Structure formats: C-alpha cells, structure tokens
Amino acid sequence: MKKKYKLNEIDCANCAMKLEEAVSEIDGVKSAKVNYMMQKLTFEADEDRIDEVEKAVLGICKKMEPDMEVAPL
C-alpha cells in the first residue's frame, strides 16, 4: 500500500535526501521517495503493517524536521 504526504517547508534538498534515507531504513518500508521540488513524500509498505509503519514514518519526519508540516495527500 502506498501513502503520500505533502512536506510543507522542508528546508533543503540535502534534508530531503536524508529524510528519504531514514524513511527507507524503517522496518516494513518497501520503498520511499522524497521529492524536494514537489515537497512530497511517498512510501510503500505492506497493507497489514501500514498503520505501524505510517506512525514510524511520521515520527522520523518530526524528529528530523521539527518545523516541517506533514499533511496527507
């Protein structure tokens, strides 16, 4: 199952790359992509674990970019 989020006020392309790497390393994430220009995060996880993975993804976003707003698309 894929989930997409709008990343409002992500600081820079380097921050986007680091966020993509961190999300990719979360247990249960099959794939992750952060597009800095579109300010969008897309990740994929198994449907039976999506709630657990989504919570971890949102937690890492808040930890790495505390001022960034993350909104579902």
Work out the percent of the chain whose per-residue pLDDT is above 90: 96
What is the tens place of the pLDDT at every residue in 38-68?
999 999 999 999 999 999 999 999 999 999 9
**By CB neighbour count within 10 A (0-12 exposed, 13-18 middle, 19+ buried), where does 45 fall?**
buried
Which domains does the chain show, CATH number per domain? 2-72 (3.30.70.100)
Q: Which parts of 1-73 fold into alpha helices (H)?
A: 13-24, 50-64
pLDDT score at 11: 84
Q: How confident is the model at residue 18 (pLDDT cuts 50, 70, 90)?
A: very high
pLDDT score at 12: 92
pLDDT score at 59: 97
- Phi first, then psi, for residue 39 (nearest 5°) are 50, 55
pLDDT score at 49: 95
